[in-house]
Amino acid sequence: MCHPNSLIFRIRAAPLGLPGYCHMPNICHRIYSTAVFGFAGNVTTDELEKVNRCLPRAVWYRELDGTVYKAEDPSLQRRVDSNVGGDGGPFNNGDSNQRRDLLQHEIPRIQSYSDFNASRSTEGPPIDLTNITGISGVTSFSSPGSKTQSLGPVLWNLDRIDQRDLPLDNLYRYGTPETPGTGTGVTIYTIDSGIIKSHQEFQKAGNPSESRASYGYNFVDDTEDARDCDGHGTHVSATAAGLQVGVAKNANIVSIKILDCNGSGTISDTVAALDWVAANAKKPAVATLSLGIQVGSWSRVLEDAVRSLVNNHGVTVIVASGNSAVDSCYVAPANVPEVITVSATDVKNKYNGTFKGGSEGMYEWSNTGPCVDIHAPGVDIYSACGSQSRCDEVTNDAYTYASGTSMAVPSVAGVAALYLEANPKATPNDVAAAVIGGATQNVVDESIFKPGTPNRLLYSKVAVKQVAAAQGP
């Protein structure tokens, strides 16, 4: 029905006895064939009646297309400019000057260890991770062993997830004697605004001329080039798998672009992206959806596609709870039970240099409620910059801050990748049980929780190998 070639249509239609008038390629903008089965397009009432005549009882339901939005709080978005004056904006914790002092100094540009004066385009020998990023214990990111990354306050989110309690200790510890703890062999599919895949955060450890990031497809422009122009997707991707700012430092990233340069997209394109991942995912795999539709709006096809990706195609899906300070059960796809739904937290006084006296609470606009599975850091998250709306110049060593439940999602995705690295045959249910079950309990202030909200904070050290044993007779 939708195939553009009339000859191919006739060949395929003959066994079904479909007449020529059933060939209607102009109505099909998107064709779904894996996660769900159907199509999206501009269809008149007459055309829909014709579809029903051609394929009786084949159309189960129909719905109007809608808009999806990134789950980021633009009021807390911080440009990293060289000429910032004043206090830089209404920071939550009154520590804007301390943070601005940290901006350009915490994360150096990755360069070849043999030439610190190399230009940005230089391709050199392997990165000296110990000297450049403060990571100790690293012989290979794909080899088992405990590793420690020294952090400044700017990477408070990494600092927080590897320990049960405050105060923070300026360290991110990962890896075990059995596992690398870097997400090696796992692919994270970011369904977002694209990616700047040349950014240094996506370099391969030991081979800076190669990137772990790649394009999947650009459904906004219908091209293979999924370059980011909003910056949201690059920021999310680096938090999940960046070499320095990321949780799973050796995972691969595939970017599927469905958000435009303003950070919005369509439900039909989002479903197309989910369908693409279902058809093309290399396992083990995780997918992120740092987005949602308007509160109180529903999309059966979006929810069905997400559910199918988990249940039928074995991909763990991590979704933002949203930023409306409402019950997340009123937001799709955060309401889908099969996904891991994430809300955002903050730590006060995280930039005071001592971390003493800090308290842990929710990001004030985070959606909560019983559809939330876990909380993760989501305020003032420092990560790769992919848009001039976020930093002075988009370069391969540019960074910026962002806030919202969007920013909490990739940390959970990174921890899911760590678990899958150790347990590559694990199902999405296994991953959810490990990530949610391993969370730190009852440390987040509950004053703005909606009824039924669980008190679980992300904990990164869940990547233990699971051993199946059978008892003999």
Active-site amino acid positions: 192, 232, 406
Contacts of 119 (CB under 8 A, 6+ apart): none
> What is the rounded CA–CA span in Å between residue 338 and residue 64?
24
Side-chain-side CA neighbours of residue 91 (13 Å): 21
Neighbours of 173 (CB within 10 A): 17
Q: Partners of 320 in the beta sheet?
A: 342
**Residue length of the chain:** 473
Contacts of 274 (CB under 8 A, 6+ apart): 35, 191, 287, 302, 305, 306, 308, 309
The token duo for 435 is 């990530």
Angle between helices 300-311 and 267-280 (to 10 degrees): 10
Burial group, residue 322, by CB count within 10 angstroms (0-12, 13-18, 19+): buried
Residue with tokens 């790769």: 384
> What is the rounded CA–CA span in Å between residue 245 and residue 14?
56
Backbone angles phi, psi at 254, to 5 degrees: -120, 125
Consecutive H or E run containing 408: helix 405-422
The alpha-helical segments, DSSP class H, found in 219-319 are 232-241, 267-280, 300-311
Backbone angles phi, psi at 138, to 5 degrees: -100, 115
The token duo for 365 is 């606009």
